[in-house]
Structure 1
Amino acid sequence: MVLRRHYIGIATIFNLLLTGMTADLMRNLLDALLPHPGLAMRGGLMLTAIVLTCLAAALYFTADLGVSAYDALALIAAYKYRLLPFKYCRIITDSICVLVGLVFDVTLGVGTVITHFLWGP
């Protein structure tokens, strides 16, 4: 069986239903509070966001309440099929997503590159 029911839980549902809305809400809030942030402010916000996102991801994985379908790909590859250690499986799945984004002409920012290479490890 390719899928593991162990990775489906309440956090899977929250992730599915609330991640996009929360991101949109936060962007609108920041746009209202900081309409024209300078480079230093944008850099500080990016670093803060990366640290908080990494902390949130660590809590989210270890809470054992389920993960998103995307997160389950690296977990299943690493722990069920034992293809590579988790950090490399995560880098590979992130790389695939970045490549798909490039194919569809998305904006690739510094924060994307940082999380792409460092989030897994």
Structure 2
Amino acid sequence: MNILGQKIPLRRILGMIAGVVIIGIGIAVFKFSHLGNDSISALNMRISELVGLSFSIENVLMNLFLFIPQLIWGRRYIGLGTIINSLCIGFVVTFTSDILVGVFGSANTLPLQLLWVVIGVLVVALGASLYQTADLGVAPYDALSLMLADRLPVPYFGCRIFTDALCAVIAWLLGGLIGLGTLLCAFALGPFVQFFTKHFSEKILQYQPGKGVQ
């Protein structure tokens, strides 16, 4: 498929879209657990509550706001995946959240909440693996840590911890839910993303970022 003059295999586009959908489902699972989301989702959810907007709409507005620095300093991180993620993921989260509540009611015991958190980590990691392996651009929030790493003598991991911690602190100061799910996102997602990338995503998409078709 040709996009902006660049021929991109359909499997990578479908993998990117599937990744966005799966990430959205995982975020909804975290929300359903009531033990905290990843830091940027926790911040978005709290802001949406404070301003009276749906999470879907607030998420789009936040992405548009964060797209400004990405457009100025991180154009090389912009792609089809940036657009799909920015516009669609909030609606996937809302749709999935409604289904979870309708089917399961609520996770009101700690063992159930812990089970949903574990499921959330695995689902988000799988989605992130597909999305990143497709290599079709990153979401504006994800671009922040990449741009910082490009310009500071700090490795990407440190920049990512900084942006995640900053969002978590702001969400907490605003009265948002920061909990076990937030900590697991910060420290457990990386290894699982790496696992899914090696054993699933690269094989399914037949592609490795920076190396091309295998």
TM-score (norm 2): 0.51
- 1:37-92 Cα deviation digits (max 9, x unpaired): 343232112111112212222322232111111100111222x2253222211111
Q: CA RMSD in A?
A: 2.0
Where 1:75 maps in the other structure, the secondary structure is helix
Q: 1:56 is aligned with what amino acid?
A: G
Q: 1:22 is aligned with what amino acid?
A: V
Q: How many residues align?
A: 120
Where 1:66 maps in the other structure, the secondary structure is coil
Pick from 91, 94, 114: which aligns with 1:21? 91
Tell which structure's C-alpha radius of gyration is larger: 2
Where 1:30 maps in the other structure, the secondary structure is helix
* 1:91–1:117 CA contact under 8 A, matched in 2: no
- 1:2-28 Cα deviation digits (max 9, x unpaired): 512221111111111111111111111
Partner of 1:88: 158
- Point out 4+ residue stretches in structure 1 off by more than 3 angstroms: 117-121
Structure 1 pair 67–4 and aligned structure 2 pair: CA distance change class (3 A): same
Pick from 35, 38, 56: which aligns with 2:127? 56
Distance 1:45 1:113 in 2: 14
Distance 2:173 2:156 in 1: 26
* 2:132–2:138 CA contact under 8 A, matched in 1: yes
Structure 1 residue runs without a partner (length 5+): none
Distance 1:118 1:84 in 2: 21
Structure 1 pair 2–82 and aligned structure 2 pair: CA distance change class (3 A): farther
TM-score (norm 1): 0.86
Residues 1:66 and 2:115 aligned together: no
**Which range moved further: 100-109 or 34-43?**
34-43
Partner of 1:30: 100
Pick from 25, 46, 63: which aligns with 2:117? 46
Structure 2 residue runs without a partner (length 5+): 1-70, 192-214
* 2:125–2:190 CA contact under 8 A, matched in 1: no
* 1:16–1:68 CA contact under 8 A, matched in 2: yes
- Percent identity over paired residues: 33
Deviation at 1:119, TM superposition (A): 3.9
Partner of 1:6: 76
